[in-house]
Chains A and B, each alone.
Chain A
């Protein structure tokens, strides 16, 4: 018998404007000891399904019909009290943004102990022993159970929540996006830990995520959801290797991969379905290139595919092989591709150049220290960065969070005052601009921010938002109206009339980000800084955005700095890459050169940390030890040395320059670069770096 059985679940939310049919008949079973994945874009109903199982639906959500059976017990029929007994005892939950789920005024150990003592009649010291055991299991130092949440880093806090979920040996753990918001390297460690724990204990896991790659690496079986319907389900090996449903194919193809620099990911055009009515036909029909009348008439039932653990809801399962071939071609999805843009194109003159750029923040001092005249501590967010961007070139800047890449972006856009070094923009030193000529600079250099939900003034219409830069730079009214319309259509908001009078809250995330881009482009700048513009968007939207930026660089001669922690999307869009670590650039060069043969050990581990969406491909993990050091108190010598698997005495003595290693189109700040002679094609770096790291890491 299965551990958890969900049968024909329907969930609706009642809102001010009618009801939203979030889940429309979802069924799946989880067997004991199985890791189960739920994947889909936002709005596909994956989190709602988990909340329905846990009985944690918001007040306006109702389970219309269907059943949720856990070990033969109907979860939906339980009273509040009975459910409390089942939760945590049998089913543990790791909520989204679990890092904020810890109580800041209670030690982490006490929080876990509390969970244990509520359910078990054990003494305090026994509970403490159990907490230490759990800390050890998730790879945290057992002596730290009396530390408070703020004393841990984000990834370690996530481990604490995992430890808490494991506290009572639950039979099922439900994890909602456990790695979203974490850096690739940390994400990789967590995934590794989950797999390791799974081997040691026999509980099942329900993993909800939008990243197919994470599921491919951790799960045995999965369901792909779309519009509250299961599109395809079965074993991970079958579904992800040979998808039979056009949606799965689209989802898989839209994930950029680091290794294929030349191959553009293919996005799914269109937006998620309107769920104000229960879907009558196939939920995916409007975006599916293979849809015909039959798809409009009825939603296809899940069809069992012969001889394997694999079901797909598509009327044309029999044509799957043909569809798979076609789905790889962007033209199938009605996307025009400009063949000319691939490969080499003319790069223009240098538009922006920095030399030894520094941005140090002074830490606040106590009055006594100030009187004594002590030198204040500095946080070296950007510490001597030299780079250059040409017109019609995309320079990608990658690094973990906290490495200073966003500060670099804002300093280059002069939103932060540089504290040292120089910036030359358009052959003019920026001091000349700052000398009462800032408007000229602002007209030519623009910045796009990370969060599309926060970067637009909620009280202005699209017309005013996009028109404002024109008004600031004294364009007349007719020009303004015309330019606003043109720019909106240029970024793909067509017809522009439809959007002009809308407010940001009436737009979807992708549309908002496009408005933000239109706002930046309306002045026809020469230079654009993009600070993680795609990190909050769904995969298919992300690909759209990357393609748009690439086109802007190619066709309009804009120089672009693209900042992101997501190396996969960076390699898709960038001509050149710069890898940052603790305020410094540690490797720089052509994208292809860096991806194929990273020189710096840090670059290598970044590249290897990205999850692989194809479960048949095995990946060598390079797990870095420890956390980045405190930027106030940097170690002498190479900043990466304490975490570097191959650091020698030399590394601690003196910091290597960017010219310490490299090739014709590449340079890295490392004395002992990875794979000195780049001969082997299949990852020249594996052997060297792999030996230094063990799956067991110490924080």
Chain B
């Protein structure tokens, strides 16, 4: 038994080392470092934001010393980022709005990545009619425009944040599926896959132990991009008024400012959510680009 624990520990150590190496590569790229910093603070806000918020984003009204409601006021000592037209604290809304954005981004991205990866892997590995069915399904999702279809679905059901996440993942998996399938198609012809079959490995073993590890980096990359797409899509839905009405999200904040007709005036109301969304999606792409250099040796050698 002792040998087992040692090999397990060794394995954990080598995995740790590998992760460290890849992280080190990301960090050596300055833009990626900025991206990582933004992402870290975003995740922090997503987890602790609502607790940090000085006021409740919807319940609490902001009043000045005389007790008057502060409507559409610019940044002041009472409300550092100003107030909405209803006299709510924008800083609190911004902090609380990070969480739904994080949830949609994280789970939408993961769902997109995992679903797409599996579809691409199975489709590319088995080929034949399996490939035919799965790829026609992919073509179908490609041919359906995302926004109108999502809006159509959301008019029939009450939007909740989880439902939106599922809808987003259900529409976005096509991207990784296509790319992973193409990669698997070339991998499948590599000799080591044949060699695995020759030594008696079954389909599942060959697929997950030999083919999958070699396309995993691309899966990761598309999961990261999935995060950005999901956040942008959720924000768009919320802006169009199809977000979860019970929570405050960055997209919904933009919707509110648009509805109030003050989008040209109240810059303090527009900028926090807009910059938040832009910063998070941009950082995901910056990290993704640096990571792509790890998985694509051709870009790597150019450095």
Which A residues are within 8 Å of any B CB, using their own CB? 410, 413, 415, 438-439, 442-443, 446-447, 449-451, 454-460, 468-469, 472-473, 477, 481, 516, 519-520, 523
Comparing B84-92, B125-133, B188-196, B255-263, the segment that makes contact with chain A is B188-196
Assuming the contacts A457-B210, A457-B214, A459-B214, asked whether A449 and B199 have C-beta atoms less than 8 A apart, the reply is no
Whether B194 and A468, one on each chain, are in contact in the complex, defined by CB atoms closer than 8 angstroms, is: no
Which A residues touch B198, using CB under 8 A?
Answer: 413, 415, 442, 446-447, 520
Quick check: is B47 within 8 A (CB to CB) of the other chain?
A: no
> Which of B197, B200, B209, B214 has the most A CB atoms < 10 Å from its CB?
B200
A-B contact pairs, 21 of them (CB 8 A): A410-B194, A413-B198, A415-B198, A439-B200, A442-B199, A446-B198, A447-B198, A449-B191, A454-B190, A454-B191, A455-B192, A455-B195, A457-B192, A457-B213, A458-B192, A459-B214, A468-B196, A468-B199, A472-B201, A477-B4, A481-B3
Assuming the contacts A454-B190, A457-B210, asked whether A523 and B4 have C-beta atoms less than 8 A apart, the reply is no
Quick check: is B30 within 8 A (CB to CB) of the other chain?
A: no
Whole-angstrom CA separation of A457 from B194 in the bound complex? 11
Whether A447 and B200, one on each chain, are in contact in the complex, defined by CB atoms closer than 8 angstroms, is: no
Quick check: is B205 within 8 A (CB to CB) of the other chain?
A: yes
Beyond A438-B200, A442-B198, A457-B196, 16 additional pairs, beta carbon < 8 A: A410-B194, A443-B200, A446-B199, A447-B195, A449-B195, A455-B192, A457-B213, A458-B192, A459-B213, A460-B213, A468-B196, A469-B200, A472-B202, A477-B3, A519-B199, A523-B199
Assuming the contacts A457-B210, A457-B214, A477-B4, asked whether A468 and B192 have C-beta atoms less than 8 A apart, the reply is no
Whether A458 and B201, one on each chain, are in contact in the complex, defined by CB atoms closer than 8 angstroms, is: no
B1-18 CB mask vs A (1 if < 8 Å, else 0) is 001100000000000000
Which A residues touch B214, using CB under 8 A?
Answer: 457-459
Assuming the contacts A454-B190, A457-B210, A458-B214, asked whether A516 and B195 have C-beta atoms less than 8 A apart, the reply is yes
Which A residues touch B213, using CB under 8 A?
Answer: 457, 459-460
B103-136 CB mask vs A (1 if < 8 Å, else 0) is 0000000000000000000000000000000000
Which chain B residue shows the least CB distance to A443?
B200
Whole-angstrom CA separation of A51 from B202 in the bound complex? 47
Closest Cβ of chain A to B71, distance in Å, is: 60
Closest Cβ of chain A to B292, distance in Å, is: 18
Whole-angstrom CA separation of A311 from B205 in the bound complex? 58
Whole-angstrom CA separation of A543 from B195 in the bound complex? 24
Which chain B residue shows the least CB distance to A448?
B195
Whole-angstrom CA separation of A415 from B201 in the bound complex? 12
Whole-angstrom CA separation of A458 from B199 in the bound complex? 17
Whether A472 and B205, one on each chain, are in contact in the complex, defined by CB atoms closer than 8 angstroms, is: yes
Closest Cβ of chain A to B263, distance in Å, is: 51
The total of interchain contacts (Cβ-Cβ below 8 angstroms) comes to 60
Whole-angstrom CA separation of A410 from B199 in the bound complex? 13
Closest Cβ of chain B to A297, distance in Å, is: 38
Closest Cβ of chain B to A296, distance in Å, is: 36
Closest Cβ of chain A to B90, distance in Å, is: 49
Which B residues touch A438, using CB under 8 A?
Answer: 200
Whether A519 and B200, one on each chain, are in contact in the complex, defined by CB atoms closer than 8 angstroms, is: no
Which A residues touch B3, using CB under 8 A?
Answer: 477, 481
Whole-angstrom CA separation of A439 from B196 in the bound complex? 12
B205-241 CB mask vs A (1 if < 8 Å, else 0) is 1000110011000000000000000000000000000
Closest Cβ of chain B to A670, distance in Å, is: 35
Which chain A residue shows the least CB distance to B202?
A472
Which B residues touch A456, using CB under 8 A?
Answer: 192, 195
> Which of B192, B197, B209 has the most A CB atoms < 10 Å from its CB?
B192
Which A residues touch B190, using CB under 8 A?
Answer: 454
Which chain A residue shows the least CB distance to B214?
A459
B171-201 CB mask vs A (1 if < 8 Å, else 0) is 0000000000000000000111011111111
Closest Cβ of chain B to A591, distance in Å, is: 27
Which chain A residue shows the least CB distance to B187?
A457
Assuming the contacts A459-B213, A472-B205, asked whether A454 and B200 have C-beta atoms less than 8 A apart, the reply is no
Whole-angstrom CA separation of A88 from B223 in the bound complex? 50
Whether B191 and A451, one on each chain, are in contact in the complex, defined by CB atoms closer than 8 angstroms, is: yes
Whole-angstrom CA separation of A455 from B190 in the bound complex? 7
Whether B191 and A455, one on each chain, are in contact in the complex, defined by CB atoms closer than 8 angstroms, is: yes
Whole-angstrom CA separation of A586 from B194 in the bound complex? 29
> Which of B197, B205, B214 has the most A CB atoms < 10 Å from its CB?
B197
Whole-angstrom CA separation of A607 from B114 in the bound complex? 56
B262-281 CB mask vs A (1 if < 8 Å, else 0) is 00000000000000000000
Closest Cβ of chain A to B39, distance in Å, is: 27
Whether B200 and A472, one on each chain, are in contact in the complex, defined by CB atoms closer than 8 angstroms, is: yes
Which chain B residue shows the least CB distance to A453?
B191
Whole-angstrom CA separation of A481 from B6 in the bound complex? 13
Whole-angstrom CA separation of A695 from B150 in the bound complex? 74
Whole-angstrom CA separation of A212 from B191 in the bound complex? 30
Which A residues touch B195, using CB under 8 A?
Answer: 447, 449, 455-456, 516, 519
Closest Cβ of chain A to B210, distance in Å, is: 5
Whole-angstrom CA separation of A410 from B3 in the bound complex? 38
Closest Cβ of chain A to B73, distance in Å, is: 58
Whether A442 and B194, one on each chain, are in contact in the complex, defined by CB atoms closer than 8 angstroms, is: no
Closest Cβ of chain A to B46, distance in Å, is: 33
Which A residues touch B210, using CB under 8 A?
Answer: 457
Closest Cβ of chain A to B220, distance in Å, is: 14
Whether B199 and A450, one on each chain, are in contact in the complex, defined by CB atoms closer than 8 angstroms, is: no
Whole-angstrom CA separation of A454 from B197 in the bound complex? 14
Whole-angstrom CA separation of A443 from B199 in the bound complex? 7
Which A residues touch B202, using CB under 8 A?
Answer: 472
Which B residues touch A451, using CB under 8 A?
Answer: 191
| B199 in complex: contacting residue of A454, A459, A469, A477, CB < 8 Å | A469
Assuming the contacts A457-B210, A458-B214, A477-B4, asked whether A468 and B191 have C-beta atoms less than 8 A apart, the reply is no
Whole-angstrom CA separation of A519 from B200 in the bound complex? 12
Which B residues touch A455, using CB under 8 A?
Answer: 191-192, 194-195
Closest Cβ of chain B to A264, distance in Å, is: 29
Whole-angstrom CA separation of A438 from B210 in the bound complex? 20
Closest Cβ of chain B to A364, distance in Å, is: 14
Closest Cβ of chain B to A529, distance in Å, is: 9
Closest Cβ of chain B to A179, distance in Å, is: 24
Assuming the contacts A457-B210, A457-B214, asked whether A472 and B191 have C-beta atoms less than 8 A apart, the reply is no
Which A residues touch B191, using CB under 8 A?
Answer: 449-451, 454-455
Which chain A residue shows the least CB distance to B198?
A447
Assuming the contacts A459-B213, A459-B214, asked whether A449 and B194 have C-beta atoms less than 8 A apart, the reply is yes
Which A residues touch B194, using CB under 8 A?
Answer: 410, 415, 449, 455
Whether B200 and A473, one on each chain, are in contact in the complex, defined by CB atoms closer than 8 angstroms, is: yes
Which B residues touch A443, using CB under 8 A?
Answer: 200
Which B residues touch A520, using CB under 8 A?
Answer: 198-199
Which A residues touch B197, using CB under 8 A?
Answer: 415
> Which of A443, A455, A460, A477 has the most B CB atoms < 10 Å from its CB?
A455
Which B residues touch A449, using CB under 8 A?
Answer: 191, 194-195
Which chain B residue shows the least CB distance to A450?
B191
Which B residues touch A457, using CB under 8 A?
Answer: 192, 196, 210, 213-214
3 cross-chain pairs, A with B, having the tightest CB-CB distances, nearest first: A442-B200, A469-B199, A455-B191
Which B residues touch A454, using CB under 8 A?
Answer: 190-192
> Which of B3, B194, B198 has the most A CB atoms < 10 Å from its CB?
B198
Which A residues touch B199, using CB under 8 A?
Answer: 442, 446, 468-469, 472, 519-520, 523
> Which of B4, B209, B210 has the most A CB atoms < 10 Å from its CB?
B209
Which chain B residue shows the least CB distance to A447?
B198
> Which of B195, B196, B202, B214 has the most A CB atoms < 10 Å from its CB?
B195
Which B residues touch A472, using CB under 8 A?
Answer: 199-202, 205
Whole-angstrom CA separation of A477 from B209 in the bound complex? 18
Which B residues touch A469, using CB under 8 A?
Answer: 199-200
Which A residues touch B201, using CB under 8 A?
Answer: 468, 472
Closest Cβ of chain B to A453, distance in Å, is: 9
Whole-angstrom CA separation of A457 from B197 in the bound complex? 12
Which chain A residue shows the least CB distance to B197?
A415
Closest Cβ of chain B to A525, distance in Å, is: 10
Closest Cβ of chain B to A341, distance in Å, is: 27
